[in-house]
């Protein structure tokens, strides 16, 4: 299983040789086994990637994320022909029933809200108002408690004047972290043979990542919690690397201690399994444990 996030942050050439990705900088040459790489983050516009490196990474199931001049993610690779994708699985996905999608969405949003409440509580905030709103949630969130709670939650966690849509260093960090989560979830969807475009709740006609946007929701508060603990005036490389390293954060997923990247893998598998072999109920529970394991490694060049 791939587990490593490799970050390219300076002028470099990235090539492929003998089942390894070779990163050449002006100071040194680094070699990383391709089967170890889960995400290659190209955090500079001064890097050159060979066609063979891109192709081999794609065939190995690795995700490549490119950033723009401002350092924010602008695009990512999507494997067009994963070996386990079939016409049957695509047709099945397109025909997912409304009841199933609403059942899964309900569980996902309940898990997200529970995590938001936990995040606020860990930060020493008064969660009574959030809990009251959460208790009022109905099936498929038809009363849109998610949006109501989100507005109150962000102002509670960050500042009473905080507006999620305004530009600020905090919003920039949140967006960066969310984009990393989305890319990791998209990778797992594709690896399981499904399309990222067809969601269970999000139906943006111009978005290629509706399903990823749906499934990532319970894990967003992990990003919020980390950002709330930091003090910064701009989205510096150190802040970005800290957000990347969150993929190795230890947490609890459905009663098992794991790291975030592995929880995302299991979560996507569980969600897709439910949609293909449904049962009456579906549960999602994510709990933060405050610990980063010693083997949480990240390659940075």
234 is in an annotated binding site: no
Rounded to whole angstroms, the Cα distance separating 251 from 248 reads 9
Rounded to whole angstroms, the Cα distance separating 165 from 217 reads 18
Summarize pLDDT for 13-69 with one digit per residue, the tens. 999 999 999 999 999 999 999 999 999 999 999 999 999 999 999 999 899 999 888
Residue with tokens 């040194």: 28
Q: What is the mean pLDDT of residues 264-286?
A: 92
Sheet holding 12-17, edge to edge: 29-33, 20-24, 12-17, 47-49
pTM over 0.85: yes
Summarize pLDDT for 166-195 with one digit per residue, the tens. 999 999 999 999 999 999 999 999 888 899
59 is in an annotated binding site: no
CB atoms < 10 A from the CB of 292, how many?
Answer: 13
Rounded to whole angstroms, the Cα distance separating 204 from 253 reads 29
Q: What is the mean pLDDT of residues 204-210?
A: 86
Per-residue model confidence (pLDDT) at position 298: 39
Percentage with pLDDT > 70 across the chain: 94
**Domains of the chain by range and CATH?**
4-76 (3.100.10.20), 87-293 (1.20.120.920)
Per-residue model confidence (pLDDT) at position 207: 84
What 3-state DSSP class applies to 226? Answer: helix
Per-residue model confidence (pLDDT) at position 127: 97
Pairing of strands 73-76, 63-67: antiparallel
146 is in an annotated binding site: yes
How much is the mean pLDDT over the chain?
91
The phi, psi pair for 247, rounded to 5°, reads -60, -15
Summarize pLDDT for 133-142 with one digit per residue, the tens. 999 999 999 9
Q: What is the mean pLDDT of residues 90-100?
A: 93
What 3-state DSSP class applies to 65? Answer: strand
pLDDT over threshold 60, residue 300: no
CB atoms < 10 A from the CB of 173, how many?
Answer: 24
Per-residue model confidence (pLDDT) at position 275: 95
pLDDT over threshold 80, residue 1: no
């Amino acid at each position: 299983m791939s587990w490593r996030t490799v970050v390219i942050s300076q002028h470099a050439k990235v090539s492929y040789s003998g089942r390894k990705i070779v990163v050449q900088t002006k100071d040194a040459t680094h070699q990383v086994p391709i089967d170890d790489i889960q995400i290659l983050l190209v955090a500079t516009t001064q890097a050159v990637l060979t066609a063979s490196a891109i192709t081999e990474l794609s065939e190995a199931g690795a995700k490549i994320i490119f950033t723009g001049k401002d350092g924010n993610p602008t695009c990512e690779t999507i494997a067009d022909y994963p070996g386990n994708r079939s016409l049957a699985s695509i047709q099945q996905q397109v025909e997912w029933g409304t009841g199933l999608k609403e059942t899964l969405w309900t569980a996902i949003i309940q898990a997200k809200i529970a995590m938001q409440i936990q995040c606020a509580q860990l930060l020493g905030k008064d969660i009574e108002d959030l809990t009251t709103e959460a208790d009022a949630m109905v099936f498929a969130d038809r009363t849109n408690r998610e949006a109501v709670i989100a507005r109150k939650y962000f102002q509670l966690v960050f500042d009473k004047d905080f507006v999620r849509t305004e530009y600020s260093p905090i919003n920039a960090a949140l967006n960066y972290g969310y984009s990393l989560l989305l890319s990791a979830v998209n990778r797992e969807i594709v690896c399981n043979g499904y399309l990222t475009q067809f969601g269970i709740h999000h139906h943006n006609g111009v978005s290629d990542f509706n399903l990823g946007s749906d499934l990532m929701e319970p894990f967003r508060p992990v990003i919020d919690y980390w950002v709330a603990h930091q003090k910064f005036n701009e989205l510096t490389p150190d802040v970005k690397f800290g957000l990347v390293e969150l993929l190795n954060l230890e947490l609890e997923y459905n009663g098992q201690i794991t790291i975030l990247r592995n929880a995302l893998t299991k979560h996507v598998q569980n969600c897709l399994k439910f949609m293909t072999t449904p049962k009456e109920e579906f549960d999602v529970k994510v709990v933060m444990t405050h610990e980063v394991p010693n083997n949480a490694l990240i390659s940075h060049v």
